[in-house]
A and B are shown apart, each in its own frame.
Chain A
Amino acid sequence: MTDWTRASALEMAEAMAAGTVTSVELVQAHLDRIAAVDGEGTPSNVHAFLHVDAEGALATAAEVDADRAAGKELPLLAGVPIAVKDIVVTKGMPTTAGSRILEGWMPPYDATLTTKLKAQRMPILGKTNMDEFAMGSSTEHSGYGPTHNPWDLDRIPGGSGGGSAASLAAFEAPLAIGSDTGGSIRQPAAVTGTVGAKPTYGGVSRYGAIALASSLDQLGPCGRTVADTAALHEVMGGHDPMDATSLDEPVPACLAAARDGRENGLKGVRIGVVKELGGEGYQAGVSQRFEESLEHLRAAGAEVVEVSCPSFKYALAAYYLILPSEASSNLAKFDSVRFGMRVEKDTIEKTMLATRAEGFGDEVKRRIILGTYALSAGYYDAYYGSAQKVRTLIQRDFAAAFETADVLVSPTAPTTPFKLGERLDDPLAMYLNDVATIPVNLAGVPAMSLPAGTAPEDGLPVGFQIIAPAHEDARMYRVAAALEKALEGEWGGPLTSLAPELEVVK
């Protein structure tokens, strides 16, 4: 009997179209897998999910199966189950953004993305774990406990979207939704051996995605293969009148670009290696797999050049001024008055203070304090103002680099996944995880991570990052698919197929 949880999303779609499997069977297989490896009390306790909606997912699946049986025309991914990061609001399904302050909150409306997934007829398996309000690189800052990396349950699955990435690596879902403010899709993809993309800023509507830093946030697709991720990207994209920053342009043809890269190689494509995103501070095995990937790209016909982005060294500092500033304002609304937790005291001020003191975790408080400080009268120009100037410099660096290269590449993260708890008391070390992913968000350009193999020294996944110019999302899929083809030739399938088997509930 086929274990459908190991198939790709596009294989599932094809099989449903061919009548070899039903959506109900697919959804049930994934619900069974979740029950076997995810929950508290299971031997693996991956804890990728904060909420599982078995009933809703099966109901959607049954409707899709009925329509298919009736010969109705269905969207490409209809019936393919999906996991949704808990930052996306879902009507009638609890949405917490990983925070205790929103425990039990039932949104009265759907995010534009949720509406699109429903229109695509994709059964939503549930909501995935994340660092509280997407602040973190390990999911250890979730208000509901960490997610465990399926490659090594003692290690972090990355963050903030560790739940979505782990659900893919543990075969609990074939596709997932992430959000990326400084690397929250790409870094978890890197450390779990999966694929994740951050679209061009404005490419996917943010309406209904709980805001962390509005000028940096972007929702994006996660999958185990480049083509699956590309297909989901197209479902998510498109103009939304509810989001004033949404791009009014056609959805990029990502899937066609991925097929093109896989079939036709990369002849004539110039690939720029960003000098500043590598070398010192990068784990040996990470650098090694990165260099090998470059060889594969050359073999596929690409020309590899070196580019320099001198302002990138200020990116982390600028990011940790802009993000907390915007977050301090975005998170003000969690005041106990209209929704979420309320710690009742005798005045409204005390109630607000007590609620926020109890409802927010340490990392959230740290960043609210940082941001409040950075925006204060007398400090604004020195902090927020300077950070915005750095942002302009970084955008110029990208513009110059894209004059000599069609895409830019780097390792996604400097290291393979570290142990849970290892960096919890050292915020600066934690922040350094995102050194290679953050410049992308500051410039608003698209980028993705795909597996480059496992590091020889620890056998843990390494990610390869591809960055494209704004609006050229399709280009990165073309390059990624060509590289994936070469690497899968070595591995005999997606990297996740090499992951150690998880102990399951019998």
Chain B
Amino acid sequence: MSYTYDEAMKDFDPVFGIEVHVELNTKTKMFCGCANEFGAEPNTNVCPVCLGLPGSMPVTNEKAVESAIRLGLALGCSIRESSRFARKNYFYPDLAKDYQISQYDEPTSYEGELDVVLDDGTVFTVGIERAHMEEDAGKNTHVGGSGGIQGADYSLVDYNRGGVPLVEIVTKTIEGAGERTAEVARAYVATIRDIVRGLGISDGRMEQGRLRADVNLSLRPKAADGEDQSAVPFGKRSETKNVNSLRAIERAIHFEVGRQADLLSKGEPVVQETRHWHEDTNSTTPGRSKEQAEDYRYFPEPDLLPVEPSREWVEELRGTIPEHPAKMRARLQEEWGFSDLEMRDAVAADALVLISDTVAAGAPAQAARKWWMGELARTANEREFTLPELPVTPADIAELQGLIDSGRINDKIARQVLAGVLDGEGAPTAIVEARGLEVVSDDSALEAAVDEALAAQPDVLAKIQEGKVQAAGAIVGAVMKATKGQADAGRVREIILARAGVEG
């Protein structure tokens, strides 16, 4: 038979663990002064150190240590008073020194706990084994032939990413998630992403590899009713590498659960191995077997001194840790009075911080939400940007809303002003003044325009006087046209009704 995820849950109990690599957004690399930036020309952000040239030596980036400690604290970890870097030795062309500077038996952060809130509000606690610092490798591109390292015509290596600071977060074995395994895994990674963004230590963009997840998963037979599931021994696990979106995490778990359930139900063994996730086929294929596990010959890095953060510094950093993203979300929803749906949409659009900052800059919460989730979300979509990438700040939006609320512009003009802001013309008030977009609130000018419009359409005036007040809309439209949209529509309406001798 071929198991679906849901069917497999009737016969098997999944056990899993997740390793997340977070690329830190420090200005420079982990062990040298090269720029840490994405998308530069290949091999331009390199120096003797990150190219591993003979004689070069690493020096630890203190800002990266600070970010790693803050992340550890946000994950509820203890921070080691003295932790060492270690060399992880293996040969690979993208690894300039043919060893990676990492941490082994003495990670900076260890023994933490993270609450993960599922969509229905259920809280699942994930144990954190460790969070350690290391450097990233470069990037291989295999050209021609098979396209893989073995059969390509030739390969290119870009060392720009080599030496970029990473924190690797390793969970403890996660049991008891049952049928919610995929959901828990996804929510865990989403929470890590929200935390690193909240800390400001990484943009957490999975599509650019700034946050990468490896998923370890095994199945064991489901315990009979009334028996202790945790007493059943673990099965052999697979490790699915580089699962690079939240959706892919769920899908990869669905696939692996089905695949392993099929094997086990046929009495075939699950091979302990690394597997690669394929986004196009929604499936995994085997990589190297862990049976012949590579021996990394770890030993303490003799070129670096131990990292020894003072207790005072760690406590100071603890003071900079934002509240847990789920708690913050609940608090904001309450404060802003958003519906569950509004809140979920804002989170999904990555707009929470933007809305929060817009509110902090003086705008009402609903107004802030409408801008970011409406006009700006559309613009972002058209321009293929994320919301935070749009060239507009929360302060701009608050200022724009302020202009509306004070009656200086109306909604329609506000959209024109926003377009100006997005085109780089300046701040909203400056654009309004430069373009002369201010609402016409001079009554005499409006009265003249109303009289002119009424004179042009005497039948409408009659209708209004007969009590068909909605007919005033035609006159309002004419006045708006005459004033190029800059009239305050409410005031125009009042003047029309007054002229017709009808109460508004």
Stretch at the interface among A137-145, A203-211, A483-491: A203-211
B299 touches A333 (CB 8 A): no
Select from chain A the residue with minimum beta-carbon distance to B85: A244
- Chain B nearest CB from A107 CB (Å) reads 7
A380–B58 touching, CB < 8 Å = no
CB distance from B363 to the nearest CB of A (A): 47
* Alpha-carbon gap, A205 to B55, bound state (A): 11
Please state if B302 and A326 are interface contacts (CB–CB under 8 Å).
yes
Contact B59 A242 (CB under 8 A): yes
Q: Which of A328, A337, A375 contacts B157 (CB 8 A)?
A: A337
- B99 contacts the other chain (CB 8 A): yes
Contacts of A375-426 to chain B: CB distance below 8 A? 375-377, 380, 384
Instruction: Tell me the nearest residue of chain A to B49, going by C-beta.
Output: A242
Given the complex, which residues of A lie within 8 Å of B295, measured CB to CB? 376-377
User: B residues 72-94 with Cβ under 8 Å of A?
Assistant: 87, 89, 91, 93
- The residues in B between 280 and 320 inclusive whose CB is less than 8 angstroms from any CB of A are 295, 297-299, 302-305
Interface residue? A42 (CB, 8 A): no
Set of chain A residues within 8 Å of B299, measured between Cβ atoms: 325-326, 329, 375, 380, 384
By a CB distance below 8 angstroms, the chain B residues around A326 are 299, 302
Instruction: Determine if B328 is an interface residue (Cβ-Cβ < 8 Å).
Output: no
- Whether the pair A332, B91 counts as a contact (CB closer than 8 A) is yes
Contact B51 A376 (CB under 8 A): no
Query: Which residues of chain B come closer than 8 Å to A245, judged between CB atoms?
Result: 302-305
- Pair B53/A339 contact, Cβ less than 8 Å: yes
Bound together, the chains give a CA A339 to CA B459 distance in angstroms of 90
- B303 & A208 in contact (Cβ 8 Å cutoff): no
Interface centre among B58, B87, B99, B303 (most CB of A within 10 A): B303
B56 close to A207 (CB less than 8 A): yes
Does B149 touch A at the CB level, under 8 Å?
Answer: yes
B391 at the interface (CB under 8 A from A): no
Tell which of A105, A328, A332 has the most Cβ of chain B within 10 Å.
A332
Closest to B46 in A: A338
Q: Chain A at the B interface: mostly helix, strand, loop or mixed?
A: loop
Q: Nearest chain B CB to A357's CB is how many angstroms away?
A: 14
In whole angstroms, how far apart are the Cα atoms of A206 and B297 in the complex?
Answer: 24
Give complex CA distance A422, B228 in Å: 72
Say which residue of B51, B96, B302 sits within 8 Å of A214 (CB atoms). Answer: B302
Q: Which residue of B lies closest to A352 (CB)?
A: B91
Interface membership of chain B positions 44-70, coded 1 if the CB is closer than 8 angstroms to chain A and 0 otherwise: 000010011111111110000000000
Q: List B contacts of A111 (CB < 8 A).
A: 55
With contact pairs A241-B59, A376-B297 given, residues A108 and B53 touching in the complex (Cβ less than 8 Å): yes
Interface centre among B53, B54, B55, B58 (most CB of A within 10 A): B54
Nearest CB of B to A254, in Å: 25
Q: Is residue B97 within 8 Å, beta carbon to beta carbon, of the partner chain?
A: yes
Shortest CB distance B303–A (Å): 5
Partner of B54 from the list A210, A215, A377 (CB cut-off 8 Å) is: A210
Task: Answer whether A332 and B59 are a contact pair too, CB < 8 Å, given A102-B54, A380-B299.
Answer: no
Known: A375-B299, A377-B295. A332 touches B99 (CB 8 A): yes
Question: Chain B: how many interface residues by the 8 Å CB criterion?
Answer: 31
Would you call A434 an interface residue if the criterion is a C-beta within 8 Å of the partner chain's C-beta atoms? Answer: no
The reply on A348 being an interface residue by CB < 8 A is yes
Nearest-Cβ distance from residue A203 to partner chain B, whole angstroms: 15
- A329 CA to B97 CA in the complex, in Å? 9
Residues of B within 8 A of A375 (CB): 89, 297-299
Task: Indicate if the CB atoms of B54 and A207 lie closer than 8 Å.
Answer: no
Q: Which of A206-224 contact B (CB under 8 A)?
A: 206-211, 213-215
Cα–Cα, bound, A245→B302 (Å): 9
- A378 CA / B54 CA spacing, docked (Å): 30
**Which of chain B's residues have a CB closer than 8 A to the CB of A88?**
55
For chain B residues 22-39, which have a beta carbon within 8 Å of chain A?
none
Q: Are B303 and A107 in contact (CB under 8 A)?
A: no
**CB atoms of A244 and B58 under 8 A apart:** yes
A210→B48 contact, CB < 8 A: no
CB distance from B104 to the nearest CB of A (A): 11
Tally of chain A residues near chain B (CB < 8 A): 45
Contact B155 A348 (CB under 8 A): yes
B305 contacts which chain A residues (CB < 8 A)? 244-245
- Asked whether B250 is an interface residue with its Cβ less than 8 Å from the other chain, the reply is no
The CA of A243 and the CA of B32, in the complex, are separated in Å by 11
Given known pairs A332-B97, A338-B96, the reply for A211 and B91 (CB within 8 Å) is no
> A401 CA to B157 CA in the complex, in Å?
53
Return the contact of B93 from the options A213, A214, A332, A335 (Cβ within 8 A). A335
A95 at the interface (CB under 8 A from B): yes
Q: Is the CB of A372 within 8 A of B297?
A: yes
CA distance A348 to B96 in the complex (A): 14
In the bound complex, what is the Cα–Cα distance between A34 and B48 (angstroms)? Answer: 32
Which residues of B have CB within 8 Å of A105? 54
In the complex, chain A residues 326-345 whose Cβ is within 8 Å of any chain B Cβ? 326, 328-329, 332-335, 337-339
Q: Is A347 an interface residue (CB 8 A)?
A: yes
Q: How far apart sit A220 and B169, CA to CA, in the bound complex (Å)?
A: 43
A244, B305: Cα distance in complex, Å: 7
Question: Per-residue CB proximity of A115-135 to B under 8 Å, as 1/0?
Answer: 000000000000000000000
Kindly list chain B residues whose C-beta atoms are within 8 Å of the C-beta of A349. Answer: 91
The reply to whether the CB of A61 lies closer than 8 angstroms to some CB of chain B is: no
| A226-268 to B contact mask, C-beta < 8 Å, 1/0 | 0000000000000001111100000000000000000000000
B155: nearest chain-A partner, CB-CB? A348
Cα of A215 to Cα of B299 in the assembled complex, Å = 12
Nearest chain A CB to B93's CB is how many angstroms away? Answer: 5
Q: How far is the CB of A61 from chain B (nearest CB, A)?
A: 26
Q: Flag if B55 contacts A333 (CB, 8 Å).
A: no
Within 8 Å of chain A (Cβ to Cβ): is B339?
A: no
CB contacts (< 8 Å) of B89 on chain A: these are: 328-329, 332, 375
Contact A338 B52 (CB under 8 A): yes
Q: Which of B86-142 contact A (CB under 8 A)?
A: 87, 89, 91, 93, 96-99
Which of B97, B298, B303, B304 touches A333 (beta carbons < 8 Å)? B97
User: A318 at the A/B interface (Cβ < 8 Å)?
Assistant: no
Type the 1/0 row for A135-169, where 1 means its CB is closer than 8 Å to any CB of B.
00000000000000000000000000000000000
B444 at the A interface (CB under 8 A): no
Evaluate contact between B52 and A89: CB separation under 8 angstroms: no
User: For the complex, is A286 an interface residue (Cβ under 8 Å from B)?
Assistant: no
Give bound CA distance, A57 to B107, whole Å.
Answer: 49
Contact A338–B59 (Cβ < 8 Å): no
A30 and B210 alpha carbons, distance in the complex (Å): 57
Q: Which of A107, A329, A347 contacts B150 (CB 8 A)?
A: A347
Contact between B55 and A211 (Cβ–Cβ < 8 Å)? yes
CA distance A211 to B55 in the complex (A): 6
The residue in chain B whose Cβ has the minimal distance to the Cβ of A241 is B59
Contact of B149 among A213, A244, A348 (CB under 8 A): A348
Could you say which residues of chain A place their CB within 8 Å of the CB of B98? 332-333, 335
Question: Knowing A326-B302, A377-B295 touch, does A242 contact B150 (C-beta < 8 A)?
Answer: no
Which A residues lie within 8 Å of B97 (CB)?
332-333
Chain A residues within 8 Å of B53, by CB: 89, 107-109, 338-339
Interface set, chain B 134-192, CB cutoff 8 A to A: 149-150, 155, 157
Q: A-B pairs with the 6 shortest C-beta distances?
A: A332-B98, A375-B297, A214-B302, A215-B302, A208-B55, A89-B55
26 pairs, A vs B, C-beta closer than 8 Å: A89-B53, A89-B55, A95-B54, A97-B54, A107-B54, A107-B55, A108-B53, A111-B55, A214-B303, A215-B302, A241-B59, A244-B60, A244-B303, A326-B299, A332-B91, A332-B98, A333-B96, A333-B97, A335-B91, A335-B93, A337-B157, A339-B53, A347-B150, A348-B93, A348-B155, A380-B297
Contacts from B to A (Cβ < 8 Å): 48, 51-60, 87, 89, 91, 93, 96-99, 149-150, 155, 157, 295, 297-299, 302-305
Interface set of A (CB-CB < 8 Å, partner B): 88-89, 95, 97, 102, 105, 107-109, 111, 206-211, 213-215, 241-245, 325-326, 328-329, 332-335, 337-339, 347-349, 352, 372, 375-377, 380, 384
Q: A332-B98, A338-B52, A348-B93 given; name 4 further pairs at CB < 8 Å.
A: A111-B55, A244-B60, A244-B304, A332-B99
